[in-house]
Chains A and B, each alone.
Chain A
Amino acid sequence: MAEERINAEQVKHVAELAKLEFTPDQLELFTGQLEKIIGMFEELSTVDTTGVPVTSRVSDRQNALRDDVAVQSNQRQALLANAPETAEGLIRVPTIIDESGDGE
C-alpha cells in the first residue's frame, strides 16, 4: 500500500462526494484522524482472502414478498409539518441555479 494513505486533497475530494465541508482546521484534524484509522484498516491486507466470498447480509430471508394491496397512507400534512420550509402544500427549496451573481 502507498506510503501516504490519505492527504488533505483526498479528504477534500471525499468530503465533496459526501456533501460535507470542513474549515482548514477541521480538514487538518480529519486528515490526521482518517490517516490513522485507514492505517488500521490496512491490517486487513495481511489476511489471505483468496477465493473467500463476500458477506454483505446476514438475514435468513431471501426475498420478502407480500400481496400488492393498496393502503391509505396519505399523511401529506403530517409529513409537511417536518419540512423546514413549505408553501402551498409543497416543500419550498432555494433556487437550484445560483442567482447570487458571484460567478460560481
Chain B
Amino acid sequence: MDFFNQDLTSLHADLVAKKISAAELTQATFDNMAKTDAKVDAFLNLNADAALKNAQAIDAKGINADNLLAGIPVGVKDNIVTKGLTTTAASKMLENFVPVYNATVVDKMLANDMVIVGKTNMDEFAMGGSTENSAFKVTKNPWDVSRVPGGSSGGSAVAVASGQVPVAYGSDTGGSIRQPASFNGIVGMKPTYGRVSRWGLIAFGSSLDQIGPMTRTVKDNAAALNLIAGNDVHDGTSSKRAVPDFTAGLTGDIKGMKIALPKEYMGDGIDPKVREVIQNAVKQFEDLGATVEEVSLPHSRYGVSAYYIIASSEASSNLQRFDGIRYGFRAQDVKNLEDVYVRSRSEGFGDEVKRRIMLGTFSLSAGYYDAYFHKAGQVRTMIIDDFNKVFNDYDLIIGPTAPTPAFKIGDEISDPITMYMNDVLTIPVNLAGLPGMSIPAGLADGMPVGLQLIGKSFDESTLYKAGYAFEQATDFHQATPDLGGTN
C-alpha cells in the first residue's frame, strides 16, 4: 500500500481497531517500496527482516492506543546511526560501517514502537542540495524523475512524497530538510537548535545541525517532532526546556497573528513563479485573519558566505576522525601511516566533501582566520540581531523556502556557487538556531513550491499552528505525484 490516502491519525485508528496489524502494515510498506523505489531510489539500505520482527513484537504486546506513532513505518536518513544496521552517510568512507549504538532519536523511535524500514539516500555527509553527491545512487524527484529531489535529505523527502512511508527523519544544517520538502511538496521541520538531541547524528556543522521530521501533513509532522524532542544527557547542547505537545493548538484559528515578510526573501534572485505562489500564500494568511507586513533582514544576503565558512570549518574539524584507522575505508597498498591517512581520505571522500574540508581548513588556517572564520562569526551575530528585531514585533516570518522549484539532474552539480546559492533562504535560520518549516504552497510549472515559516527560538508551536491553518484552508498538501503508475 502507499500512504497517499492515510495520515497518522487514520493509520493509528486502523491499527488500534485491528483493521490491519503492524506486521501487515510493514509487509504492505515493503511490497509498495519494491515497486515504487525502483523508480525514485530514495532508500540506500532496507531493514526488512528486523522491521518485520519488530512489527510482530509490537502486535504481540498490542498497539498503544495513546501513541500515534506505534506500529508506523519510518525512514531514517543514513547519517543517523542505527545499531546493527549499516549507516554510510552516503559515503564510500563508511560503506561497510555498522554502528554499535543507536542515535538517541532512533532509540526514541524504537521505544515508541515505530518500525524502521530503511535508511534513506542523501548527499555525502549531508553536504549538498540535490542528493547527487551520494556515493551510491541518484534519487529522483517523484514529480518529475528527470529532476533532483533537493538535499541533502533528498531520500527522506522522496520516501514520503512518493507514498512509501508516512514519516521520515532528516537532518538540516543549512536547509537540508526544508529545501527537499519544498522540492517534493511535503512538510519538513528544522527544529530550534537544541530541541532535538544530535547524539548519533554523524556530525557535519555541530553549531548548525538539527534532526527533524518530514511528513505529508502539518499535524503528522507535529506528532513526529513530539517523539524526538527533548533533553539528552549525551548531547550537552540539547536544551532542558520543557517540550510542549506540538499537536496542541492546531485549531485553524490564527486571527490576529502578526506575520513578517522580509523583502530580501522576495527579491530579484527569486523565480517569479515562486514569488507568485508566495504572494498567494500571503493573501491566504490575510484571509485567515492574520496581518502580513513587509520587514527587512538586511544581513541575510551575507548568510551564504558566512555559512559556507562556518559550516565548512566545523566540517573540516569533524571529519578529521575519518583517518582509515579505527573504522571506515582504508586505502590499500599503503607504505606508512601518513599514507593511510592521506590516501584513505583522498579515495574515501567525494569531491564536494573534499571541497568543504578544503574551504574549512583554509578559513581556519594561519593568516586567514581573522578575515574569514572570525569575520563570519561576527556576521552571524548581525544576522541573529536582524531576526531578533523582527521578532520584537512579529509572531513569525514567512517567505519562500527555495529560490526555485526542483532543477534538472546534472544541471548544477558542476557549479558549486550556483548550488550554494540555493540555500540563501534557509541558511540564516540555521545560523540563528531558529525553527524553520517548509509546507506545500502550490505548484510552478507542475513542480511543488514550499512556503517557509520561521519562528522564534523554541516556538515551533506557532509554526505548526500557522502551518495547520494554511493547510486546512488550501489543498496543496493533497496533491500527489503521478509516478506513471495506475494508482
Interface residues of A (CB under 8 A from B): 1, 6, 10-11, 14-15, 17-22, 30, 33-34, 36-38, 40-41, 43-45, 47, 49, 52-61, 63-64, 66, 75, 78-79, 81-85, 91, 93-100
Contact = CB atoms under 8 A, between A and B. Distances in A.
A12 to B, nearest CB: 11
13 contacts: A19-B323, A20-B357, A30-B355, A37-B308, A37-B420, A43-B302, A47-B302, A55-B377, A59-B239, A60-B457, A75-B100, A79-B327, A81-B100
Given A40-B305, A83-B326, A97-B336, 18 more contacts: A6-B362, A20-B342, A21-B343, A30-B355, A37-B420, A40-B308, A44-B306, A49-B379, A54-B377, A55-B377, A56-B377, A58-B433, A59-B236, A79-B100, A83-B327, A84-B328, A84-B329, A84-B330
A43 B358 CA distance: 19
Interface string B368-379: 000110111111
B337 A14 contact: no
A53 B309 CA distance: 17
A28 to B, nearest CB: 13
Nearest to B324: A84
A63 B237 CA distance: 9
A82 B357 contact: no
Main secondary structure of the interface of A (DSSP, over half): loop
A100 B380 CA distance: 49
B137 interface: no
B361 interface: yes
B337 A61 contact: no
B379 A33 contact: no
Contacts of A19: 320, 323, 341-342, 345
Contact of A18 (B240, B316, B375): B316
B326 A82 contact: yes
A81 B431 CA distance: 38
Nearest to A46: B302
Nearest to A92: B325
Contacts of B326: 79, 82-83, 91
Contact of B207 (A15, A47, A56): A56
A78 to B, nearest CB: 4
A54 B207 contact: no
A20 B96 CA distance: 22
Nearest to A102: B335
A102 B168 CA distance: 53
A65 B240 CA distance: 12
Contacts of A10: 362
Contacts of A44: 302, 305-306, 309, 372, 375-376, 379
A59 B196 CA distance: 11
Contacts of A36: 416-417
Contacts of B320: 19
Contact of A61 (B237, B354, B371): B237
Nearest to B374: A54
Contacts of B340: 93-94
B304 interface: yes
B358 A20 contact: yes
Nearest to B84: A78
A17 to B, nearest CB: 5
A60 B241 contact: yes
Most chain B CB within a 10 A radius of its CB, from A53, A59, A63, A78:
A59
Interface in B212-265: 233, 236-241
Given A18-B358, A18-B361, A19-B341, A96 B336 contact: yes
Interface in B96-137: 96-98, 100
A94 B361 contact: no
B335 A94 contact: yes
A17 B361 contact: yes
B240 A61 contact: yes
Interface in B326-354: 326-330, 334-337, 339-343, 345-346, 349, 354
B299 A47 contact: yes
Given A20-B357, A49-B378, A85 B330 contact: yes
B381 interface: yes
A66 B236 CA distance: 10
